[in-house]
Amino acid sequence: MTESSLSVEGTDKMKWFAFSIICAVLQISYQNPRKHWTLLPNILVLEVDGTLGEQNLLCMESPQELIVSANQSQEIFWKKNGIEQAQRGNSYRVQLEESLGGGNYTCHSEDGSLLNHTIVLIKEDESKRRKILVKTDEDYLKCTAQNYNGEFHCSWTWHSSRSGRVAFVSAHRLPDLNTKCSVDTSGEWTCSSGHGNFSCTVNDNRISCLDKQHCPYAEESKQICVTVFVLSQHFLLEEYFKRFYLSDIVKPDKVEIAQVNTTVIQWSYPSSWSSPYSYFPLTFQIAQLKNGCEGCDSPCSNYEALTVHSTDTQFKVKHRAKAVCVRAKDAFSFSQWSEWSHKRLRNHRKKRNKHKNK
């Protein structure tokens, strides 16, 4: 073998090696989504990590449709968010870059008739900064229950500069990976599994759910997991979830205060609280105010409160008390206190003294 032929062979190997490196780099930098899954019929979620990628969509998939597609594939055209695209045929390549690529993709026959549609949602890596909801009190979802009847509510705060809506809701008892959720025409979500049957309704920044299989007299052995998927106007999907027992989030409604006489007040359990009260007792706190504090935003917050564990709901107030505040919490859990109830006292003693002086 001549020296010149060896040189040519070596050059060819170097070119092939360089070409392989370039192909490998292109393959690494231009990847498909890390994961894709169906949220609801015709709604596809693509999980991305910010690198370049693409996802293939099909207009017609069934065998019968594919026979028609083989003859008409060149006549099929696509639209993204109502705008016609250059790509033609039964398949469409969605280009992904960072959080871009989401949209409403529709395919049409040559005469413009709608053949199929796919809504593509982009879900960024969990390490990315959340963009749709705002964290308050170290959490995104705040959940409360008025009692132990199985109903609870979760609320959140939308980001002021972003327009969002709820795309999907899930509620189930842990551990249960086979929960199936669906939504009807009225907007009510139903989630069924072997450990529970939940129904949820959505109202802007709040969901209300009911565990239809919950027994308030039995000890909870499984936590509830609530998941809310929210969607931005740019087809960005974010997932938020919270796990809890009802005893963790129960918060009684405000108690009602009545004045028995000049020195005694009494209060009643909230009408929404679980009964019998002997099985679901409440602990109360009482604050006595030396002035009525008319017009105060929170007249009860700056006074020392006395905790009462007794089932007796009557209390003798101090002689100089002008007003009282009472709140309640579940006696057996480390849950939240109710909001304060405030009542200004009628002091008949002063009126009688005035009449005596006359």
CATH number at residue 165: 2.60.40.10
Residue 357 is assigned to a structural domain of this protein: no
Residue 26 CA to residue 228 CA, distance in Å, equals 36
**Residue 170 included in any domain:** yes
Residue 17, pLDDT above cutoff 90: no
Judgement on whether residues 142 and 242 belong to the same structural domain of the protein: yes
- Whether residue 155 is found in the same domain as residue 262: no
Query: Residue 99 falls within a domain, yes or no?
Result: yes
Interatomic CA distance for residues 223 and 243, integer angstroms: 6
Q: Is 76 part of any domain?
A: yes
Q: Rounded CA gap, 272 and 244, in Å?
A: 21
Counting Cα atoms < 13 Å in the Cβ hemisphere of 71 gives 4
From 59, 92, 124, the end of a domain falls on: 124
Residue 3 lies in a domain: no
The dihedral formed by the CA atoms of 47, 50, 51 and 54, expressed in degrees to the nearest 10: 40
- Residue 90 and residue 105: Cα distance in Å, rounded? 13
Kindly state whether residues 222 and 263 are assigned to the same domain.
no
Which of 78, 93, 124 terminates a domain? The answer is 124
State whether 238 and 143 are in the same domain. Answer: yes
Same domain, 70 and 41: yes
The angle at the Cα of 137, spanning 134 to 142, to the nearest 5 degrees, equals: 75
Q: Give SS3 for 328.
A: strand
- pLDDT by residue (tens digit) across 22-74? 444 334 344 566 789 999 999 999 999 878 889 999 998 866 665 555 555 56
How far are the Cα atoms of 262, 265, 280, 296, 307 from residue 342, in angstroms, in the given order?
16, 12, 24, 11, 16
Residues 208 and 227 in one domain: yes
Q: Is 60 exposed, middle or buried (0-12, 13-18, 19+ CB in 10 A)?
A: buried
Indicate if 237 and 269 belong to the same structural domain.
no
- Is there a contact between 287 and 304 (Cβ–Cβ < 8 Å)? yes
Residues 236 and 140 in one domain: yes
Last-in-domain residue among 90, 124, 158: 124
Range of the domain at 52: 35-124
Please, how many CA atoms are within 13 Å of residue 92, restricted to the half-sphere of its CB? 27
Q: 137 and 235: one domain?
A: yes
Question: How many separate domains does the chain show?
Answer: 3
Give residues with Cβ within 8 angstroms of 172, minimum separation 6. Answer: 179, 191, 193, 195, 196, 198, 224, 225
Radius of gyration of the chain (CA): 32
Give the pLDDT confidence of 263-308 residue by residue, as tens digits: 898 999 999 999 999 999 999 999 988 876 655 667 787 778 889 8
Q: Looking at the predicted structure, is the pLDDT value of residue 209 above 90?
A: yes
Same domain (yes/no): 116, 169: no
3-class SS at 74? helix
Token reading at 37: 């899954």
What pLDDT, on the 0 to 100 scale, is given for residue 19?
41
Phi-psi region of 187 (alpha: psi -120 to 50; beta: other; left: phi over 0): left
Answer whether residue 225 is part of any domain. yes
- Please report which residue ranges of 107-257 form alpha helices under DSSP H: 246-249
User: Among residues of the chain, what percentage have pLDDT more than 90?
Assistant: 53
Shared domain check, 206 and 158: yes
- Residue 26, domain member (yes or no): no
Backbone phi, then psi, for 36, in 5-degree steps? Answer: -140, 145
Please report which confidence band the pLDDT of residue 98 belongs to, taking 50, 70 and 90 as the band edges. Answer: confident
Q: How far apart are CA 277 and CA 271, in angstroms?
A: 11
Task: Please tell me whether residues 155 and 193 are part of one structural domain.
Answer: yes
The answer to whether residue 236 sits within a structural domain is yes
